[in-house]
Every structure is written in structure tokens, then in C-alpha cells.
Amino acid sequence: MPVLLRQRSVPKVSPVSMEPQELSPALLHSPVTVVAILGELLATLPSLDEMTLLVSPLHLYWDLMDFTNELRDSLCTDETWRHRNVTYDDDDPFTSDDDDPPASLSQALAKSTPWTSKFDVQMVAWVWQRSVAALKDRWAHLVRTATKLPNACRDLATKAADMVATTTARDREQQAKTVHYWTAQENMVELGQALGGEERAEVVARRESWVRKEAMVAASEATRATMVRQRVEAALGLLERLVAACDEATAFPQELQRLLWDTLAALKGTKKQSFNVPEDLVAKVAVAERLWESNTHLVKDHLVGTLQDIF
């Protein structure tokens, strides 16, 4: 693999600007927002047990599980490029015990020392560039996955609205029957007492218990259906925000990729040793390294720690 990489040339890009694209910690706001919205969504969306009144709610849950897994993969960035030495061999006669080897790409770009070779610096930049390209592809796919979710939730919201109408009508009907029964019951009880029919009174009592139970069930289902509809509609709003946040989050790998192309292009025109990279470009590489590490922490500190199994 190193041999193949050594033979590759930096693709043609526009001349390196002395003012590369601005990199800011704000680029991570959208990925953080995606994680936050997903956590809120899972707390809002009714459980499968609560959704039993609806027909075929599983589709949304399976799609949501796929999205969650893809998000975890998208936030788990490749750190292997960090572990590649940007140094000469330890036995190199030109090294000095007073020179500390650069610990990062930005340090290597900032100061050419006997430890630093242009080829090794390029290799680190290439490995990182490939990791960023993979991250960019994963986020693009994540956006496509996210767009499926509102459609599935919108279908459930329609079913939930229909279920509310059905259960509410049934509740009203049952309540009307209950009111009608109380009037008829009084007449039957009075008639039974007038005829001395204790057995008739017992039948009326059992019938009363059944009517009460049916009325309670109808009222409970109507209340439950209303709750499900409200939460599904709230989840739909969150999903629409989620799609927008995912789309905005694609800017993070895009800006990193643009910066690395600028870095590789800048290295292409420098000498083998004592290469000179613009200071503002070096500073932005340092910011990019911190952003990359923060992106990884999103998984450890937010996603894994807060999101539970959606089932």
C-alpha cells in the first residue's frame, strides 16, 4: 500500500489560496444537533406496546434503528492516521536528542525538523484525506436514510388520526348506551321489585357491571389513541428537523476534505526538506485535528451514553 501511495500524485486542484476555507468549531454544531434530536425523538416516539392500536408501526422503528446504527458509524471516525510517525527512522544520523518528533500533522507542517520528511507528511495527509472522504460518503448516505423517516412517520400520523376518530366515535356511542342503560335499568329494577323478582335484580347488576366496563375500555382507548397521535405528530416534527440537521452536518467533512486538498497541493510545490506551508493553513489543520477528535468524542460522550435500544 505505501508503494502505491508513493506513486500517486496530488490531483489537480485550484491554486492554493492564502486564505483557505474557514474552519470553525461551529461545524460540529449540526452533528451535535443530530444526536440531540435523535435522543429527543426516542423519548417522544410511543413504544411499540403503545402503538398496538395502529396497523404496521414496525416500518418506522426498523428504519429508525437503521438510521441510529448508521449515525454511530458516521461518528466513529478513523484515527489510524494519527498513529503514523511523521518522522525519520530513530537511527537517522541527522536527528538530535533535543528535537522532539512532531506529534501531529499540524506540528509537522509548522516546523521542518530533522525528524520530518515531506513524504511522511504527505502520507499522513493522504491517510487522513481518505478517512475524511469515507466520512463524507457516510454522512451523504445518512441523509438519504433520514429522508425515509418522515414519510414513514407521516403514514403513522395519518393512521393515528383515523384511530382517534374511530375510538372517539366508539367512546361516544358507548357513553350514549350507558346513559340509555341507566334509565332502562331503573325501570327494570322497579319492575323487578314490584314483582318480587330478586333474580331479575341480580341480572340487572351483572349487566350494569358489563356496561361500566365497556364504557371504561372505550374511554381508555380513545384517550390512548389521542396520546399516540399527539406523540407521533411531535415525532414527525422532530424527524423533519433531523433531516435538516443531517443535511447541514455534511458541511463538516466537506470542509475538512477541501482543507486537506489545499494542504496536499501546498506540499506538492515545496522542497523535500524545509518545506514552507502558509501559517494560516497550518493553523487550520490544527483546528481540523481538534474538530476530528471532538467528532469522535460525540460517540463516546453522547451517542453511546444516551441512546438506548429503540425497542
User: Residue 196's pLDDT is what?
Assistant: 53
Largest distance between two CA atoms of the chain? 120
Residue-range domains of the chain with CATH: 30-77+96-306 (1.10.287.950)
| Per-residue pLDDT reduced to its tens digit, 293-310 | 888 777 667 666 555 544
Q: What are phi and psi of 91, to 5 degrees?
A: -90, 5
| Per-residue pLDDT reduced to its tens digit, 208-225 | 777 778 778 778 788 888
| Per-residue pLDDT reduced to its tens digit, 167-178 | 888 878 877 777
Contacts of residue 13, defined as CB under 8 A and 6 or more positions apart, other chains included, come to: 261, 262, 265
| Per-residue pLDDT reduced to its tens digit, 56-113 | 667 888 888 889 888 888 887 777 776 666 665 445 444 444 467 777 888 888 876 6
In Å, how far from its chain's centre is CA 241?
Answer: 11
Least confident segment among 9-23, 78-92, 158-172, 274-288: 9-23
Q: What is the DSSP string of the chain?
A: -HHHHHH--PPP-PPPPSSPPP--GGGGHHHHHHHHHHHHHHHHSPPTTTTTTSS--HHHHHHHHHHHHHHHHHHS---GGGGS--S--TT-TT--TTPPPPSSHHHHHH---TT--HHHHHHHHHHHHHHHHHHHHHHHHHHHHHHHHHHHHHHHHHHHHHHHHHHHHHHHHHHHHHHHHHHHHHHHHHHHHHTT-HHHHHHHHHHHHHHHHHHHHHHHHHHHHHHHHHHHHHHHHHHHHHHHHHHHHTHHHHHHHHHHHHHHHHHHTS-SSS----HHHHHHHHHHHHHHHHHHHHIIIIIHHHPPP--
Mean pLDDT of 138-154: 92
Mean pLDDT of 265-284: 79
Q: What are phi and psi of 14, to 5 degrees?
A: -65, 155
Q: Is the pTM of this model over 0.85?
A: no
User: Residue 149's pLDDT is what?
Assistant: 93
Average pLDDT, the chain: 76
Do 252 and 237 touch, CB atoms closer than 8 A? Answer: no
pLDDT band at 48 (very low <50, low <70, confident <90, very high): confident
